[in-house]
Structure 1
Amino acid sequence: MKSLKILTIITTSLLFSCGGEDEIQEETPINTTVQYTFPDESETHEGTWLQWPHHYEYGLEYRNSLDATWVAMANALQSNEKVHIIAYNTTEQARITTLLNNASVPLTNIDFKIHETNDVWVRDNGPIFAKNLSGTIVIQDWGFNGWGGKHNFTKCDPIPTFIGTSLGKTVVNVPMINEGGSVELDGNGVLMATRSSVISQSPANSVRNSGMSQAQAEANFKKYYGATKVIWLEGGFSAEDVTDMHIDGVAKFVPGNKMVTMSNADLLTWGLTQDDINILYNASNTNNQVYTKTYLPLTQNNVITTNGTNLGYKGCYINYYVANGKVLVPNYNDLNDVIANNLIAALYPGRTVVGIDVRNLYENGGMIHCVTQQQPQ
């Protein structure tokens, strides 16, 4: 997702199965029985997974500009859950340990795994922790191909199976490309996504699942996520946006039949069509009850990075992460940080909101939710 400079967070991919590059054809039979369920992000975590920035793909300036955000996330998370850090190699592990020590971050709940990665977007390339019908946690390995081949991905794609092997958990290879940021679930059977980031067949560099129909995608969502209702937005494409409008930059479900999104005007600025906004605002649960909505603002001003670069666009707060006892919210050194933090705090009683400065991360296309992945207890 390097060099994404736009108001959305999204992804693209050419289809290959997790074990190879065989396309899924229209006639491929798919078992539509629910076989797994996806624990809600707000449920108790065993830990959170992070892929730490390094210099092997995008250089020292990239790595150094992001370190502080990862230190802040690790520090916020470690008091209430494990923090599983994927370091590129043992040299990077030693460097990260020094960073954490220098910031007085306790290491008791910090765990390292060594694996080369292309980048930091563990939400998109990382493991999906789901429960089978017996209630046992398994790791699902959905295919990942660098948002339609826009960026290198061969080091990141094996991460789910690597983690599953490391933890001794069953790994389920899912025959579909799907980034974690492209779907949002309400914990009660509803899944929301944009067609542009899942099943669109054009443009060529945005195809994840060649030849896959909407019905086939929905069957996979039912089987592997436990989704019995799928709400589709069309989404959209932009030359600057490699993710093709991931849903986790547009809306987020909150326990209690609630949804966080933005105002009509801000969503239009974000790139949604009015038709999509109408679908979003009228979205309902499996009992056809419309979600109660909280509208988060964009930042008041365009985001300016820590080195003074004006990005020319505003920041979004929807891409936050719900952890044990805390909610990590993207902050931008902006007057609306406090407003957004307070609105989110009201939605999660008993959790402390922690604002994380994401200005440099935002320059490269993401926020907190994009770079975290929960492991349920």
Structure 2
Amino acid sequence: MKKILYLMVVFPLMVFAQKNQSQLSKTNGILYTMPEESEPHEGTWLQWPHEYQYGETYSNRLDETWIAMTEALVRSEKVHIIAYDEDEKEKIEEMLHEANVSLANVDFYIFPTDDFWVRDNGPIYVRDRAGKLLIEDWGFNGWGKKAAFTNCNAIPSKISSAQGKTRVDLNSVMINEGGAVEIDGNGTLLTTKSAVLNSNRNPGMSQAQAEAIFRKYLGVTHFIWLNGKAGLEITDMHIDGFARFGNSSTLVTMSEDDLADWQVPDDDIDKLYQAKNKSGKPYRIVKLPLTKNAVTTAYGKELGYKGSYVNYYIANKVVLVPNYHDVNDAVANAIIQKLYPTKEVVGIDVRNLYANGGMIHCVTQQQPKQ
């Protein structure tokens, strides 16, 4: 009798467990998949610059760039603006009104922030196996504790609560900035070891461990690892400054000379040009120039280095491209326009933003449509 009861109770559980394990193995351990940037957006997130961290002059020099981004984006998607407090919200509304930017597609969230690099600290939207949109909250520690980060690290949690979306808390799993990883939408991830496997982010983490995490939470199964260069600038060489996936078959980067000027290691340049997708097929390489001249800000500061156009942002009907009042602006805009013929390329003046180390992609974050 006991044997019969055992078979009636335990055997079905064993079958269920085996079936469940079999289904899990078929997914290669993947729980969530990150939509590629060019997929249709519900909206774009912006963290508006404020005076509370670095002063009023700092934020005032950046407002025009945020106004220009908002003006271009509201034509075809929502713009979710994070304002530090109610006073900042009123200030932003007034600036947008004076610039004749419609607020019909704009909404505001009042959350204190340390800075405006929402690509790195903001929510990463992913889909579960049923297609439901969730928010992943990866750890953010100010690019290895080089800058204040406590307020910014809390942003994904606050957005998930405000939107009523399920939050996947990865703060104790991995420090991972959005600008550190590029996905092609077809199972491949491109990144630098200097920005991920750095002891200032993830001490002791191996490449295999990082890959298992990315596989599970971003849905990628093929990896292109560049070495990068730690300590060169605050991000320890984020990939989105010099190499992006234009689409599932195209890699957007620079010429060999320009990559060397960007201080990309020689071995990494070779790896980029030889990169293949998960099926073993080489990517089509599209090369954007650097600016012809070293960048000078709108307030006259000579930065002493050239600007990258690779750090662009793909929205629903526009592509926002960093521009520098340089002769190569038109060259880069035309190349990108050819790559996205159904969208309008909009050049955004990033000279003052660039003085702080980033460009358009660094300060935007997409929210895909459900």
8 A contact 1:87–1:115 mirrored in 2 = yes
Displacement after TM superposition at 1:238 (Å): 3.0
The structure with higher relative contact order (CA 8 Å, sep 6+) is 1
Distance 2:89 2:331 in 1: 37
Equivalent residues in 2 for 1:102-117, closer than 5 Å: 102-117=98-113
Amino acid in structure 2 at the alignment position of 1:213:
S
| Matched AA of 1:339 | V
Cross-structure match for 2:139: 143
2:290 pairs with one of 287, 294, 298: 298
Gaps of 5+ in 2: 1-26
Query: Which structure is larger by alpha-carbon Rg, 1 or 2?
Result: 2
- Is the 1:32–1:220 contact (alpha carbons within 8 Å) kept by the matching residues of 2? no
**Alignment pair present for 1:156 and 2:149:** no
Work out the percentage of aligned pairs sharing the same amino acid. 57
Task: Give the Cα–Cα distance (whole angstroms) in 1 for the partners of residues 208 and 41 of structure 2.
Answer: 32
Task: Check if 1:209 corresponds to 2:209.
Answer: no
The alpha-carbon deviation at position 256 of structure 1 amounts to 4.7
Which whole-Å CA distance do the structure 2 matches of 1:166 and 1:159 have between them?
A: 10
Distance 1:34 1:351 in 2: 32
Distance 1:256 1:234, change over 3 A: closer
Question: Displacement of 1:32 after TM fit?
Answer: 6.3
Check if 1:185 corresponds to 2:177: no
Question: What is the CA–CA distance in structure 2 between the aligned matches of 1:190 and 1:150, rounded to whole Å?
Answer: 29
Counterpart of 2:244?
Answer: 252
Is contact 2:186–2:248 with CA below 8 Å preserved after alignment? no
Q: Tell me, which stretches of 5 or more residues in structure 1 are unaligned?
A: 1-30, 202-206
- Higher mean C-alpha deviation, range 316-325 or range 267-276: 267-276
Does the 8 A contact of 1:46 with 1:376 survive in 2? yes
Supply the distance in 1 between the matched residues of 2:242 and 2:144 (Cα, whole angstroms).
21
Residue 275 of structure 1: aligned partner = 267
Runs of 4+ in 1 over 3 A off after TM superposition: none
Aligned length: 341
Report the equivalent of 2:63: 67
Give the CA deviation at 1:271: 1.1
Match of 2:189, SS state, is strand
Q: Normalising by the residue count of structure 2, what TM-score does the alignment of the two structures yield?
A: 0.91
Separation (CA, whole Å) in 2 of partners of 1:236 and 1:283: 19
Q: 2:42 aligns to what SS in structure 1?
A: strand
Per the alignment, residue 265 of structure 1 pairs with 257
* Amino acid paired to 1:196: S
Once the 2 structures are TM-superposed, how far is the Cα of residue 255 of structure 1 from its aligned partner?
A: 2.0
CA distance, structure 2, for counterparts of residue 110 and residue 346 of structure 1: 29
Contact 1:123 1:369 in 2 (8 A): yes
Structure 1: distance between partners of 2:205 and 2:183: 21
Which letter does structure 2 place at the counterpart of 1:236?
K
CA RMSD, 1 decimal: 1.0
Q: Equivalent of 1:310, from 302, 315, 319? A: 302
- Aligned match for 2:219, one of 226, 249, 259: 226
Give the alignment's TM-score, normalised by structure 1.
0.89
1:345 partnered with 2:343: no
> How far apart in 2 are the matches of 1:255 and 1:243?
24
> In the alignment, residue 162 of structure 1 is paired with which amino acid?
K
* Distance in 2 between residues matched to 1:35 and 1:282, nearest whole Å: 30
State the shift of 1:89 in Å: 0.2
Q: Which residue of 1 aligns with 2:77?
A: 81
For the residue of structure 2 that corresponds to 1:230, the secondary structure is: strand
* Aligned counterparts of 2:301 and 2:139: Cα–Cα separation in 1: 35
Deviation at 1:52, TM superposition (A): 0.1
Residues 305 and 311 in structure 1, CA contact (< 8 A), matched pair in contact too = yes
Offset at residue 295 of structure 1 (A): 0.5
Residue 254 of structure 2 aligns to which amino acid in structure 1? M
More helix by share: 2
